[in-house]
Structure 1
Amino acid sequence: MLPSSQIIYNYIKCRKFNRFTRHTSSNFKLYFLKLILFLFLLLALHSVAMMYFEKLAFSDALWLSLTTITTVGYGDFSATTFGGRLSTTILMYTLGISLLGILVAEYIEFRLNKLELKFSGQWRWHKMHDHILIINTPDHDTEEYLNKLITEIRATPHIGELPIQILTRKYQEKLPKSIAQLGVVHYTGLAQDNDNLNAVNTSTAKYIIVLANESSNPVSDSATYDVLSRIKDIGTKALILAEATTDKNRPRLRSMGASVIVRPVRAYPELLIRAMIAPGTEEVLENMFQYNNDHMARFDVKFKNLKWKDIVNSFMASNSGLPIAYINETGVNVNPLPDTTCSGTGLISLIKDSQQISNAQVKKCLEA
């Protein structure tokens, strides 16, 4: 059995390093509760002492204890006997007031430490669920891209009010103010780590967006594949959207659970959001960027006072594609309402690569 001096020495030794870790430890609540219980014990002992030595009623004794420990000291009650004064000196002045100061200091330090963890991306938001989880961030123009992406999310119905969390190693000190003020939190860590994926509540997310670190580097697809495989192991019901830098890697990413796969288009994060809320639209949009597939064609023809629905019907009946917009002196009018009366100098239509359509054919179509 250790001698009492050794026990005291070990306690003091442990206190030296425990004081640096107690606020990040799961035992802090227990530690704080012990301090509160000890404070209540001192109040109870002092109240009993005042009842015994000063012959005060319990309510008056408790009132004297509270006003003493909080240093308010109204003066309506005070200890006059030797025993009462000695009890007050030991229990309140020596122990109680110091303990109350320690409690306040510990709580403030805990709150500051918690705030620092949140700023630096080390805080685990255990209660977060049904959120949008963004994994990885672009290596270049990160802040500008995230601003565009998150602003678009916030402007989109049905998802604009969802919590957003980012898993990235980019911001190890704190998120830029422009991003944080959009209601975003982050967790600092490598996405290729199951502990980090669990820390951002992957299993309870509603949407997961896996971004490519480098939009033109095929190696990014390997990193994305690894992240997707880890998410699959963890398990989630979220709709997963992943970026693929190379089309041939799409089947591999899809096999790992990616529901939507898009090319990294950094200038237009709106395309990514459209694909997220309406899966399948990404293939339509990407198809339009390839001239050897469906593409837009402009026809410079004049027309006047035609219903938009009649223009669409005429185009489809004559196999001239699908009108998307018309052009007049105000500019390009995209997808007008069916009963809109249109006049203009040109039309934009979605056509197949195999179709050869001339202005004369379109003009004849409108005159029919």
Structure 2
Amino acid sequence: MPIFLKRLVVMVRAHIDQASWQLLLTATLVHMAVTWGLLWLADESALLPLNTFFYYYVVTTSTVGYGDFSATTEWGRMVVAIVQIPFGLALFGVLLGKAGQFVTFWVRRSMTGEKDFAHLQNHIVIFGWHDVRTKKMVDYILGDDKREDRKIVLAVTDAIEHPLLSYPEVAFARLASFTDDEQLSRINITQADKVIIDGDDDNQTFTTALKLSKVVKPQAHISAHFLDDTKAMLLREHCQNVECSASMSAEILVRAMQDPGSSRIQEELLSTLKGDTQFSLVLPDDVKQLTFGDIFNYFKQHHNATLLGVAHDVNGLKMDLNPPLNYPITAGDIVHYIAPHRILAAEVNWTELCSPNSSC
């Protein structure tokens, strides 16, 4: 490109950058008013009604020119040729350039993770990016066809661009730190409902979990993944609202050796993409008392679901697997089950489920 053209492009871009939306809109309105006034003086009565003039102005100034409305007097044609089209076309070009620049700016911010998500409520935040594992997490979250419609925010510290652009449900935020209050405010972590921490290493996961456990709202749930069992055990002692999971590779390998097919069962239980999956359900407040047998039989008959056990806290630290049928269950307890689909509390007929001797 010749030097003078490059300089012209740079000059035009500089003028577009410096021109504010308010200035451009004001200039456009002034140009429209001046054009209308001159057409009125030129006695172009057919173009003067406001709805007609607006349509005529946009079509003619943008040089689309359908021809259904045009100036008919000699002075009217002079106004169009000297005032309306030259100045209007320049304004139109600057407005288009400004709009394109605005769209490019926001797309770029989405790509680089610079956008602000402080407006989000009850969203899911995933801390950390791993090429294969994180994408699987998102697939499993979205694979739950009865999940609440929550926005997912992927937060990273790596210098990467949005790795999940093909997922419209996933927003991307690149933070300088997972423990800085100002950075965390960009993703409104205090209003997040679910949090997954899968850092670059156990140290990052540990420090992030320690920070977030004191920041999130009381009913929020945090899941943290570790490779080292000792770090998971230490975090459980200090942060009761963090559910820690550690690598189970040794246990799975031994179980697969002793009971062939065990590893496939683990995969099926955890994947929402195919086959029956393990879910959980919190008993609503209006259920006073049931037995494990009440729910076991009802779930199998009405929902083709098999109960696994009962937990008395959200992290499953107080859990009884395969308890006896007369095991008491009350409101707030969490039943874990295997089913083709998630069962919502509203889908359960709690009145029919109650046993004759229960007080629910």
TM over 0.5: yes
Structure 2 CA distance for partners of 1:163 and 1:63, relative to 1, 3 Å = closer
Q: Matches of 2:132 and 2:97 in 1, distance apart?
A: 40
| Alignment counterpart, residue 92 of structure 1, candidates 72, 84, 89 | 84
Q: Matches of 2:210 and 2:16 in 1, distance apart?
A: 39
Any conservation in 2 of the 1:123–1:187 contact (CA below 8 Å)? yes
Deviation at 1:76, TM superposition (A): 4.3
Q: Which residue of 1 aligns with 2:189?
A: 202
Any conservation in 2 of the 1:136–1:168 contact (CA below 8 Å)? yes
TM-score w.r.t. structure 2 length? 0.57
DSSP 3-state at the match of 2:223:
strand
Note if 1:280 corresponds to 2:315. Answer: yes
Note if 1:183 corresponds to 2:169. Answer: yes
Q: Matches of 1:202 and 1:65 in 2, distance apart?
A: 49
Which amino acid in the other structure matches residue 149 of structure 1?
M
Q: Matches of 1:205 and 1:234 in 2, distance apart?
A: 10
Deviation at 1:134, TM superposition (A): 0.7
Q: Which residue of 2 aligns with 1:32?
A: 21
| Alignment counterpart, residue 172 of structure 1, candidates 160, 163, 166 | 160
Q: Matches of 1:276 and 1:166 in 2, distance apart?
A: 24
| CA offsets 1:271-321 (integer angstroms, 9 cap, x no match) | 699799873347769xx9xxxxxxxxxxxxxxxxxxxx9xx89xxxxxxxx
Q: Matches of 1:122 and 1:64 in 2, distance apart?
A: 41
Q: Which residue of 1 aligns with 2:106?
A: 114
Structure 2 CA distance for partners of 1:78 and 1:256, relative to 1, 3 Å = same
Structure 2 CA distance for partners of 1:63 and 1:18, relative to 1, 3 Å = closer
DSSP 3-state at the match of 2:178:
coil
Q: Matches of 1:246 and 1:275 in 2, distance apart?
A: 24
| Alignment counterpart, residue 231 of structure 1, candidates 188, 212, 216 | 212
Q: Which residue of 1 aligns with 2:38?
A: 49
Unaligned runs of 5+ in 1: 1-11, 23-27, 215-219, 289-308, 314-333, 337-368
| CA offsets 1:66-93 (integer angstroms, 9 cap, x no match) | 44312234274326445x5554445323
Note if 1:262 corresponds to 2:239. Answer: no
Q: Matches of 1:257 and 1:68 in 2, distance apart?
A: 68
DSSP 3-state at the match of 1:143:
coil
Structure 1 residues 1-368: aligned runs within 5 Å: 16=14, 19=17, 31-54=20-43, 56=45, 58-59=48-49, 64-73=56-65, 74=67, 76-78=69-71, 80-82=73-75, 84=76, 87-137=79-129, 142-156=130-144, 158-159=146-147, 161-170=149-158, 172-176=160-164, 180-181=166-167, 183-189=169-175, 190-214=177-201, 220-221=202-203, 223-231=204-212, 234-236=215-217, 237-244=219-226, 245-247=228-230, 250-252=233-235, 255-256=238-239, 258-264=241-247, 279-281=314-316
Which 10-residue stretch deviates more, 260-269 or 163-172? 260-269
Q: Matches of 2:197 and 2:142 in 1, distance apart?
A: 18
Structure 2 CA distance for partners of 1:39 and 1:261, relative to 1, 3 Å = same
Deviation at 1:259, TM superposition (A): 3.2
Deviation at 1:106, TM superposition (A): 1.4
| CA offsets 1:101-136 (integer angstroms, 9 cap, x no match) | 111221122112211221222222344322110112
Deviation at 1:47, TM superposition (A): 0.4
Which 10-residue stretch deviates more, 156-165 or 202-211? 156-165
DSSP 3-state at the match of 2:132:
helix
Which amino acid in the other structure matches residue 225 of structure 2?
E
Unaligned runs of 5+ in 2: 1-9, 253-265, 273-277, 282-310, 326-336, 340-360
Larger Cα-atom Rg = 1
Any conservation in 1 of the 2:112–2:174 contact (CA below 8 Å)? yes
Q: Matches of 2:215 and 2:338 in 1, distance apart?
A: 43
Any conservation in 2 of the 1:212–1:224 contact (CA below 8 Å)? yes
Any conservation in 1 of the 2:241–2:315 contact (CA below 8 Å)? no
Which amino acid in the other structure matches residue 188 of structure 1?
R
Which amino acid in the other structure matches residue 37 of structure 1?
T
Which 10-residue stretch deviates more, 202-211 or 152-161? 152-161
Q: Which residue of 1 aligns with 2:343?
A: none
Deviation at 1:263, TM superposition (A): 1.8
TM-score w.r.t. structure 1 length? 0.56
Q: How many residues align?
A: 260
Q: Matches of 1:280 and 1:100 in 2, distance apart?
A: 59
